[in-house]
Structure 1
Amino acid sequence: MSAKRPSEIAPKTADALLSWYDAHARALPWRAAPGSNAPDPYRVWLSEIMLQQTTVAAVTPRFAAFVARWPSVEALAAAPEADLMAAWAGLGYYARARNLHACARSVVERGGFPNTEEGLRELPGVGAYTAAAIAAIAFGERAVVVDANVARVVARLFALEQPLPAAMPALRAATDTITPDLRAGDFAQAMMDLGSSICTPRAPHCLACPLSAGCAAYRAGNPEGFPVKRAKPIKPQRYGTIFWAEDAGKVLLVTRPPRGLLGGMRALPTGPWADAPPGLADPPFPAEWQMLPGTVAHVFTHFRLELALAVARADGHVAVGAWWPVTELDSVGLPSVFAKAAAAIRRAT
């Protein structure tokens, strides 16, 4: 696949898609109206970081809460990291929250967001895709933006037969051939919207698609066959134990190590995560721990986790961690796996 431009399909594709977008663009709280010359780089950047591996439906209310609490990059840079980490709970990939804070501080030190794709790549936590998206959407720079929705649309337009993820260079090259010089940000968002509402993973609405006339997969009668995906490997299974220590209506919480999975987050104490159930191995302190019936399951990116639940009375003699009122646990910002465990334990006790 050659990435040379211009392509004969490019002007027709871009014009048709932008016309469709002008009429059907989603109204999202971080998005400027189609054709706007003044999107807010802070809102664009924040939304792109939040949307990584997370759905628009999940991000929309969380985004509103973030910008209400921290309405500018300066406000976010000045926020205590613990507050940011707690507000991020449930959005996953907690390293992104730490990078978000570091990036905000870097932007403030620079005096604002860089307005080029290359400059944006220098910011903490901003990779190739995010830099391209911000450059196109916030600054109108011609950049090739390929997220999961765009990849699906382009794979079908060109009927690319190479499986993902190996096909990404070819997908990016193909996207380059149809990305216009003008309104590149609107074009990128239009591709995202098309993939979300029309060119869906299953049962795409090809008759309503503005690009169907030039779509190779549609002409072949097999749009759902693209993009081609390799078989997913089976995720390994791991096991652990959550420890719930309660004293006078308060529960013991600890802060996880700053690096690693769920780093720096407040959490319930947990023993080792192993290939077999560890039982009561490595409790936070000696006590008469009792195992509750049932377990809590959680799926991370690279493994599945099954957690047994252990409870004990602390009697006020424990000096590790911090005590938090059980009735106020919802305000802590526990990561999802610990919030599940807390809910299960409270139901059982």
Structure 2
Amino acid sequence: MTPSLPDPALLLAWYDRHRRVLPWRGDDASRPDPYRVWLSEVMLQQTTVAAVGPRYTRFLARFPDVQALAAAGWEEVAEEWAGLGYYARARNLHAGAKALAAQGFPRTVEGLRAIPGIGPYTASAVAAIAFGQPVVPADGNVERVVARLMREETPLPAAKPRLTALAQGFMAHAAARARPSDFAQALFDLGATICTPRNPACALCPFRDGCSARAAGVQAELPRKTPKRARPTRHGVHFLLFDDAGAILVRRRPPKGLLGGMLEIPGTPWRATAWAAAEALDHAPLPGLAWLPSPGEARHGFTHFELRMTLLTARLPGPTEAPGFAWMDPQAARAAMPSAMHRLLALEAIG
């Protein structure tokens, strides 16, 4: 017999007692602001709540509403996003802000999906949380909760469409339809604090009596996941050049592609084979300098590959023009750079 979803009223009663206090949530008397909800959902993709909290507050102070974000230049947005990773999110956020500043926030999933850079999950989350639409946004927390409740054995990611459809089944209940914003956030909180990936606290769960996985004793095994393929390795050599005042030479990456539009320490392309020293020096920003190797190797994991980087340093005796590059204070440069560059700068104890 196919299991059924438990009564949403049980979860809402739990949420009213245990809801997390998060900076992007409205109070009990107000609907959450759609810009703040959208910003938080974009930031939380692939990033933890603990890491997002202070960065969200800082971003909001600089870009307090969608009009401010739309009016900002990409360099400003990229600087504020530095260190959060997955920089395509920032590009999509900026593109979406330009459209939303012109027309305002649509209230429906379909209207939100028409905005550049807003995908199915984010559209559902904003529609449910900010506008009270009767939809259930299925993030990783919700997928895990539903997989256990319904004892769904199909591994992720193949199970995602079914889990999304099953989660939407909660809206067949009047309690969930009456409070769709709270219900969506209650599911997030349940997955984040009780129905966790490891060692779920089933004794504290408001859905414990209706959980098929718990009844079978397999809750810790679900959701199943297809084994990940080993990530290939790429190699790069970067050149840290100081001038006589202690500034470093930086450049901005092309607007499209990996880390698009972000500041970087100049270097070689990233490729599958390691670089020979003479070959790498062909990519040095200025010719004829005495480059010295920094000790160690910087490593950074991207979604589809592992990056290994070595660092060469040099110093100039006086000011030098470098077309296509810029001189910056090392700490200011680091603040505007992505995490991969932070790992390189750490080889020289900058940061």
Deviation at 1:172, TM superposition (A): 1.1
Letter of the 2:266 counterpart: P
Counting only pairs closer than 5 Å after superposition, residues 204-215 of structure 1 correspond to structure 2 as 204-215=200-211
3-state SS in 2 of match to 1:346: coil
In the alignment, the residues of structure 2 paired with residue 297 and residue 267 of structure 1 have an alpha-carbon distance, to the nearest angstrom, of 15
3-state SS in 2 of match to 1:96: helix
Distance 1:261 1:157, change over 3 A: same
Deviation at 1:314, TM superposition (A): 3.3
Q: 2:333 is matched with which residue?
A: 329
Which of 10, 28, 32 in structure 2 is aligned with 1:16? 10
Letter of the 1:147 counterpart: D
Q: 1:217 is matched with which residue?
A: 213
Which of 32, 57, 61 in structure 1 is aligned with 2:26? 32
Counting only pairs closer than 5 Å after superposition, residues 271-310 of structure 1 correspond to structure 2 as 271-280=268-277, 281=280, 282-286=283-287, 287-310=289-312
Deviation at 1:13, TM superposition (A): 2.4
Deviation at 1:279, TM superposition (A): 4.0
Deviation at 1:326, TM superposition (A): 2.6
Deviation at 1:340, TM superposition (A): 1.6
Determine whether 1:265 maps to 2:262: yes
The sequence identity of aligned pairs, in percent, is: 49
Which of 46, 52, 58 in structure 2 is aligned with 1:59? 52
In the alignment, the residues of structure 1 paired with residue 331 and residue 34 of structure 2 have an alpha-carbon distance, to the nearest angstrom, of 39
Q: 2:178 is matched with which residue?
A: 182
Letter of the 1:276 counterpart: T
Q: 1:47 is matched with which residue?
A: 40
Determine whether 1:231 maps to 2:230: no
In 2, are the aligned partners of 1:243 and 1:309 still within 8 Å (CA)? yes
Q: 1:165 is matched with which residue?
A: 157
Determine whether 1:254 maps to 2:257: no
Distance 1:139 1:285, change over 3 A: same
Deviation at 1:31, TM superposition (A): 0.6
Q: Deviations over 1:196-217 (max 9, x none)?
A: 0000001000000000100000
Decide which moves more: 276-285 or 168-177.
276-285
Deviation at 1:37, TM superposition (A): 4.8
Decide which moves more: 189-198 or 98-107.
98-107
Deviation at 1:343, TM superposition (A): 2.2
Q: Deviations over 1:309-344 (max 9, x none)?
A: 11112343341300012353344x111111121122
Deviation at 1:161, TM superposition (A): 0.6
Q: Report the RMSD for the aligned CA atoms in angstroms.
A: 1.8
In the alignment, the residues of structure 1 paired with residue 276 and residue 107 of structure 2 have an alpha-carbon distance, to the nearest angstrom, of 53
Determine whether 1:82 maps to 2:38: no
Give 5+ residue unaligned stretches, structure 2.
Answer: none
Deviation at 1:222, TM superposition (A): 1.4
Determine whether 1:317 maps to 2:320: yes
Letter of the 1:195 counterpart: G
Q: 1:130 is matched with which residue?
A: 122
Deviation at 1:32, TM superposition (A): 1.6
In 1, are the aligned partners of 2:295 and 2:347 still within 8 Å (CA)? no
Letter of the 1:288 counterpart: A
Distance 1:345 1:168, change over 3 A: same
Q: 1:5 is matched with which residue?
A: none
Q: Deviations over 1:165-217 (max 9, x none)?
A: 00011101211112332211211111110000000001000000000100000
Determine whether 1:200 maps to 2:202: no
In 2, are the aligned partners of 1:272 and 1:278 still within 8 Å (CA)? no
In the alignment, the residues of structure 1 paired with residue 79 and residue 322 of structure 2 have an alpha-carbon distance, to the nearest angstrom, of 23
Letter of the 2:307 counterpart: L
In the alignment, the residues of structure 2 paired with residue 243 and residue 221 of structure 1 have an alpha-carbon distance, to the nearest angstrom, of 55
In the alignment, the residues of structure 1 paired with residue 64 and residue 332 of structure 2 have an alpha-carbon distance, to the nearest angstrom, of 26
In 1, are the aligned partners of 2:144 and 2:223 still within 8 Å (CA)? yes
In 1, are the aligned partners of 2:334 and 2:341 still within 8 Å (CA)? no
Deviation at 1:71, TM superposition (A): 1.3
